[in-house]
């Protein structure tokens, strides 16, 4: 049976006390959930949340990472620091990093390769803006983000990579791609991965959908052949919203 990967991205929300409360509630309420689960609190709460989820079925994720192991990089967080805190997965190339903070494919690729070299799992986010979609550029954008983002990543490391397709116009807007539209883009992602790594790798790679996923649309999205999980933003901030997504079936 397919095991879905349901991940929560808490973004710049939650004090340490709030993060601990939410992580504790999720740990209890999701103890019987068989899906692969991850939560990504803000950096400041990683240590406290790490202690809560240790030994549970919830993986600790980080929302970003610097492109170097150490050095004069004011404000950055290193892969070594994340590993120190028990982080297992890192979200890279999120559209907010790309579009608000100007991260390009080259920088994202550097982070992807660094994280993988340290055996962290990577969630590589890709997705088009509304303007790009309306100008017929969707496939070009996705192909570029995948091929540049994964440049230099060996087939043997691909098992540690999850792709998250997140149409930018659907993030935090309440607008969701229809399950059919999302499935078609996921199929295209698989096609690009097949061109890069072969058919078996394309079949095996986990592709999450992200963009206003909620309890009432999760099951319809997950029913699609090419959708293997969800990266959830807003609805991951409350247990009553996230638990039914993780338990969509
Ligand atoms: C996200 O930030 O990855 C996301 C999908 O956000 P939301 O669920 O709020 O649209």
By residue count, the chain amounts to: 249
Find, among 94, 83, 100, 152, the residue nearest to 124 by Cα.
94
Q: Which CATH class is domain 5-246?
A: alpha beta
Residue 104 in marked binding region: no
For the chain, which residues score pLDDT lower than 70? Answer: none
The pairing of beta strand 5-9 with beta strand 58-62: unpaired
Q: Supply the pLDDT for residue 43.
A: 98
Note the pLDDT of residue 95. Answer: 96
Residue 69 annotated to the active site: no
Assess whether 186 carries a catalytic annotation. Answer: no
Q: Is there a binding annotation on residue 109?
A: no
pLDDT at position 177: 85
pLDDT computed for residue 142 by the predictor: 98
Q: Is 203 annotated as a binding residue?
A: no
Phi-psi region of 58 (alpha: psi -120 to 50; beta: other; left: phi over 0): beta
Domain ranges for the chain = 5-246
Rounded CA-CA distance 141/86 in Å is 33
Q: For residue range 150-208, what is the model confidence (pLDDT) as tens digits?
A: 999 999 999 999 999 999 988 888 888 899 999 999 999 999 999 999 999 999 999 99
The CA-atom distances, in angstroms, between 41 and each of 46, 48, 151, 185, 190 are 6, 10, 28, 28, 29
Give the pLDDT confidence score for residue 1 in this predicted structure.
Answer: 87
**Whole-number pLDDT of residue 173:** 84
pLDDT of residue 197: 98
Closest residue CA from atom 4 of ligand 1: 233
Residue 155: other Cβ atoms inside 10 A: 11
Tell me the CA–centroid distance for residue 171 and ligand 1, in Å: 5
> Residue 75: left (phi > 0), alpha (psi -120 to 50), or beta?
left
The 8-class DSSP code of residue 69 comes to S
In DSSP terms, 61 is beta-bridged to 89
Q: Is 166 in the pocket of ligand 1 (CB under 6 A)?
A: yes
Tokens linked to 114: 């660094």
Question: What's the CA-to-centroid distance between 216 and ligand 1, angstroms?
Answer: 15
Distance 214 CA to ligand 1 centre (A): 10
Q: Is 232 in the pocket of ligand 1 (CB under 6 A)?
A: yes
Q: Is the CB of 234 under 6 A from ligand 1?
A: yes
């Amino acid at each position: 049976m397919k095991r879905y990967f349901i991940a929560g991205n808490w973004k710049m929300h939650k004090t340490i006390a709030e993060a601990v409360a939410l992580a504790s509630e999720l740990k209890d309420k999701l103890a019987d959930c068989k899906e692969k689960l991850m939560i990504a609190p803000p950096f400041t709460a990683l240590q406290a949340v790490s202690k809560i989820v240790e030994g549970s079925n919830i993986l600790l994720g980080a929302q970003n990472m610097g492109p170097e192991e150490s050095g004069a990089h004011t404000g950055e967080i290193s892969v070594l620091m994340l590993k120190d805190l028990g982080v297992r997965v890192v979200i890279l190339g999120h559209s907010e990093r790309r579009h608000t903070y100007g991260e390009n494919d080259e920088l994202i690729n550097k982070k992807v390769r660094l994280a993988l070299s340290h055996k962290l799992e990577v969630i590589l986010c890709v997705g088009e803006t509304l303007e790009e979609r309306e100008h017929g550029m969707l496939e070009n954008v996705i192909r570029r983000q995948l091929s540049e983002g994964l440049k230099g990543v060996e087939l043997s490391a691909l098992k540690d990579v999850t792709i998250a397709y997140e149409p930018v116009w659907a993030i935090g807007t309440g607008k969701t791609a229809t399950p059919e539209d999302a499935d078609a883009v996921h199929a295209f992602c698989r096609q690009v991965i097949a061109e890069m790594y072969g058919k078996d790798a394309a079949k095996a790679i986990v592709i999450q959908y992200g963009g206003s996923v909620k309890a009432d649309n999760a099951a319809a999205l997950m029913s699609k052949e090419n959708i293997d999980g969800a990266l959830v933003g807003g609805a991951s901030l409350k247990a009553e919203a996230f638990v039914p997504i993780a338990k969509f079936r």
